[in-house]
Chain A
């Protein structure tokens, strides 16, 4: 296992280096001038020159690259030309917000999607199966912004069951002391149950919005891989030997459908790593997606670069975790061998 981890680490370094190079040079090819955006429309040429000098934009590109890499290795991803703050710090504040939302959204999607997919496969071609497929189509054709607005309208504006879309907590509420960055977890660790509850109520609508849309691919993959395993010869064997229906469904059917399901969950979670720009905008969620969006609008090169690199790093970690999960759920997979799922 350790040799596997070592090899993965080595490959990861190469991957990250690749990401840095590609991102850096693509950013330099993009049209637009960040200094002009920062200085405003009436800035003098001297002022522009001064800003370029300050942010190192007047150096030759290779020099910029060397400086950037030298700092990045030390964990300094540069300075945002938009806010003037350190990119690393700004990302680290916003990342937990996105990850917390992603975590609960994927959790909801799995908790809803897996049972629905199992039942749909077990009761194939009955009304339950058809209903599940309708839900899946509905979910995958649903726009985040529409669902988000509708949920807000109904549950905040009309019914008043959940708080409005103003972010992770009420504006007047002091956030918990940062330990993990997940407000629900930090509040619980501080023993502040009221605060934890509040964090959950603010999470509910955005998490349901994203979770509903993400449950669609999970329903589909669980259903189709369950149908495959339930048609397999080993399920036929289990039935021939009189294994009860429920045990066949879970121990022989679902257990062997876990590899494609894990792959799907991994892809979905990876897709959520960079935050969800639309949902973060609708719910005023202070996440990295919105940060990247703002950075992109004003050509904030270092902020964007930092965002892409951090998300890339998270993606690499996620993939290692998924590989471990694979080897744990399927005895045929040993770490270090390629997985074909």
Chain B
């Protein structure tokens, strides 16, 4: 059963034809970790902010649907995801910057409890200490009285996760949760997220550019480039049977030196058609159009004219 279903999400710059996300769809089933992968500027974070109803000024949601168990969360009049109905919580890339510097961390968690359950001040505080214990913080009562600048990055991320859990989310959006942390701490945070999924049955949308993290954490993966979905499938599909040229390129980039010119090319959001077109070795005239996602296996879809061309060629011969 799918818990969160996102369909046809299109997000653009206000008063400009440029779209940052073009017709993006994915789903996050309960109890699963779904990776949203892509390089910087691919629209991963924008997708997350859209779902949280937190798009910055100057960026607008143009169309799409965000459903939780079939219930539409998108307010069509205001073209934003309404915060009240969403059972989603988000953790961020820079845990230290994401916490209020002038507020004790215990209070920051406690106020979420007060908001969510109307708990009184002291009750919310004891719940918050309990939550700190649950995310594996030793000396939780002491840490609750600390300010964020007194804690390490890993500790802050645990605090952040505790805050998110205080919302009792059914979907946790983790935006590059370990990018700012070192490898040992990263492993601990991964373990924590996995434990929480097992414990609470929440689904996780795991946003990262780190393929190793994806391979370790995710059940299924959606590959994003230039705001378009390139390929989606199970972890094994993506890592063992990649079909899209961009996915292949992304996997190759981990193993070998990448031609810096290709990397520096970045994303051209003005480009019509497939956004990967100008960097793709296989690009031809057809790539001036946007390719549809086509099934290339069981639960495995890819958006590239190569697949349809193969079909046409196979049919012709």
| Contact surface of A with B, Cβ cutoff 8 Å | 124, 232-234, 236-244, 247, 251-252, 255-256, 329-332
Contacts and interface: CB of A to CB of B under 8 A. Distances in A.
Contacts of B167: 241-242
B187 to A, nearest CB: 24
Contacts of B99: 234, 237
Given A241-B164, A242-B115, A243-B111, A331 B102 contact: yes
A236 B54 contact: yes
A236 B160 CA distance: 12
B99 to A, nearest CB: 6
Given A237-B160, A240-B52, A251 B100 contact: yes
Q: How large is the interface on B (under 10, 10 to 19, 20 to 34, 35 or more residues)?
A: 20 to 34
B163 A330 contact: no
Given A243-B111, A331-B147, A238 B89 contact: no
Given A251-B100, A255-B102, A329-B102, A233 B92 contact: yes
B100 A238 contact: yes
A252 B100 contact: yes
A233 B111 contact: no
Interface of B: 52, 54, 57, 83-84, 89-90, 92, 94, 97-103, 111-112, 115-116, 147, 149, 160, 163-164, 166-167
B83 A233 contact: no
B147 A234 contact: no
Contacts of B98: 233-234, 236-237
Q: Which 9 A-B pairs have the closest CB atoms?
A: A233-B97, A331-B147, A237-B98, A234-B100, A233-B98, A240-B90, A332-B149, A241-B112, A240-B52
B163 A232 contact: no
B102 A330 contact: yes
A252 B167 CA distance: 19
Contact of B92 (A237, A242, A331): A237
Contacts of B149: 331-332
Contacts of B102: 255-256, 329-331
Nearest to A248: B100
A259 to B, nearest CB: 9
A302 to B, nearest CB: 48
5 contacts: A236-B92, A237-B98, A239-B54, A241-B89, A332-B149
